[in-house]
Chains A and B, each alone.
Chain A
Amino acid sequence: MGKTTLSINLAHAFAKAGVKTLLIDADPQGSVGLSLTRQSRSLPGIYDYLADPGIALDRLIVPTRMDTFALVASGQASDYEAGGCAAGSYLARMRMFLGAAEALGYDLCLIDTAAGLFGLTGDVIAAGDAVVIPQQAEPLGIRSVPKLLEGLNRLRVMNPRLSVLGVVLTMVQHDLPESVEAAKAMRQLLPSELVFDTSVPRHGLFVKASARGLPVGALEDGAGGLAVFEALRAEVQGKLDSRGGRMATHGR
């Protein structure tokens, strides 16, 4: 389980708590859309919005069965068709997107980005209010932490009000010593304010939920998964309360 599962389930937890939530798939692989909607291959989405200033946000919104939960797919246009993506290319347009979402009444925009801090991902983070970093509890992830921190510091120069809410450890395997050690090392390396207390275990429930195109909390036997993400939501909410509410979950 990585960033897409985290994004879907965290967004669902917020929506379930009554927060009007817009989940945006800004990963060109379109994983959120592929996870939740069968039609995602043909839906217009965020990349189309970025490429065409004539597209209004309300044309892109895909409702769900929950009044408080809606999606924006990644769309049909690609980075290439939008003319490549130097840093800053989409910054103003992303801000416009978030402003439009706010005007439509969304309390929270949760954006699932591609991995890395370059191109559109950098612009998404630079346009947002806060960032959550899913990090798999594995050795390679720990080694890349300095690069991640350097990149986030650079983005905070572009967006001084960006709050780095912290790292969420994902795919934690309590029966695998390397995974446990990686999770422990992350907590030792970073200040406690930058690592969420809640971590997300590796579990078959997430695969099952993905197969059915549902958030884990919507499964009949998903109470355990729901509890994990409700705890994470409460932590995120606590951090956001004093900082505003448009968030990116950044892929690692």
Chain B
Amino acid sequence: MTSYDAWLDPQEVKRLAGQLLEPAPTAMAKPPGDPSFGADFVGFDAEELEAKSPAPVLRGIDGLRQRFAHGMFLLDERGEAIFAEGDAGQLQSLAIDFARSSVETRRGVRLKIDAVRWLELVPIDSPESRRVFGAIVTAPLDSATFQEIEATLGE
């Protein structure tokens, strides 16, 4: 019995410390290789990817182009640009970092990139893939804009 026993539970401390010495639990750990994609990601099929036409996506960006004049991009599952416009190109690698990190949020990620601008990263999920849309904005996106992006690019 030490004077610290009143402040903490020694048995609990020993249990927690013991866990640190054991092999780490791996059940929640994501498998190496493609940590960017959720549990529903089924892998790449080269032929299928080649067969896909980018046309439907590109048809939808005209409206977004007006809205995101500072720059925007769309990355595919491999982190490669399907399109990139404006000043956003240099931020693509940052977006790829995010796409590959373990961050999972419903509405994406917002980064302050300078005094007046933000980079918004929005995951675009479809049954076949997860893409990442990025846009440079001067004000955070509102809910309606998120929906417009998802509707336009998620088709």
Could you say which of A61-69, A91-99, A102-110 contacts chain B? A91-99
**A-side contacts of B2, CB under 8 Å:** 181, 184-185, 188
**A89 in contact with B109 (CB, 8 Å):** yes
Give bound CA distance, A87 to B102, whole Å: 9
Interface presence of B66 (CB below 8 A): no
B130: shortest Cβ distance to chain A, in Å?
A: 15
A149 interface neighbour in B4, B7, B17, Cβ under 8 Å: B17
Q: Residue on A with the closest CB to B9? A: A146
Contact residues, A117-156 vs B (CB, 8 A): 139, 142-143, 145-146, 149-150, 152-153, 156
Could you say which of A78-86, A221-229, A242-250 contacts chain B? A78-86
A162 interface neighbour in B24, B26, B94, Cβ under 8 Å: B24
Interface presence of B42 (CB below 8 A): no
Band of interface residues on B: 35 or more
Interface of chain B, main secondary structure:
mixed
Interface presence of B20 (CB below 8 A): yes
Give bound CA distance, A156 to B25, whole Å: 8
B21: shortest Cβ distance to chain A, in Å?
A: 6
**B97 in contact with A93 (CB, 8 Å):** yes
**A-side contacts of B25, CB under 8 Å:** 156-157, 160
**B110 in contact with A53 (CB, 8 Å):** no
Give bound CA distance, A145 to B112, whole Å: 35
**B28 in contact with A157 (CB, 8 Å):** yes
Q: Given A156-B25, A160-B25, does the pair A185, B109 have CB atoms closer than 8 Å?
A: no
Q: Given A143-B4, A160-B25, does the pair A190, B90 have CB atoms closer than 8 Å?
A: no
Interface of chain A, main secondary structure:
helix
Interface presence of A164 (CB below 8 A): yes
Give bound CA distance, A9 to B123, whole Å: 44
Interface presence of A204 (CB below 8 A): no
**A-side contacts of B103, CB under 8 Å:** 86-89, 91
**A189 in contact with B20 (CB, 8 Å):** no
**A194 in contact with B20 (CB, 8 Å):** yes
**B17 in contact with A194 (CB, 8 Å):** yes
Give bound CA distance, A80 to B113, whole Å: 10
Q: Residue on A with the closest CB to B113? A: A83
Q: Which of A86, A152, A189 has the most CB of B within 10 A?
A: A189
**A54 in contact with B90 (CB, 8 Å):** yes
**A145 in contact with B102 (CB, 8 Å):** no
A235: shortest Cβ distance to chain B, in Å?
A: 16
1/0 contact string of A146-180 vs chain B (CB within 8 Å):
10011011001111111010000000000000000
A191 interface neighbour in B21, B100, B111, Cβ under 8 Å: B21
Give bound CA distance, A217 to B16, whole Å: 36
Give bound CA distance, A160 to B30, whole Å: 10
Interface presence of B84 (CB below 8 A): no
Interface presence of B143 (CB below 8 A): no
**B-side contacts of A185, CB under 8 Å:** 2-4
Known pairs A54-B90, A89-B103, A193-B21. 12 more at Cβ < 8 A?
Answer: A89-B109, A91-B103, A143-B4, A146-B16, A149-B17, A156-B25, A157-B24, A160-B24, A162-B24, A185-B3, A190-B13, A194-B20
Task: Enumerate the 8 nearest inter-chain pairs by beta-carbon distance, A residue then B residue, closest first.
Answer: A83-B111, A149-B16, A160-B24, A92-B97, A156-B24, A53-B93, A92-B101, A88-B103
- 11 residue pairs A–B, Cβ–Cβ below 8 Å: A88-B103, A142-B7, A145-B13, A149-B17, A152-B20, A157-B25, A160-B26, A181-B3, A189-B4, A189-B10, A194-B17
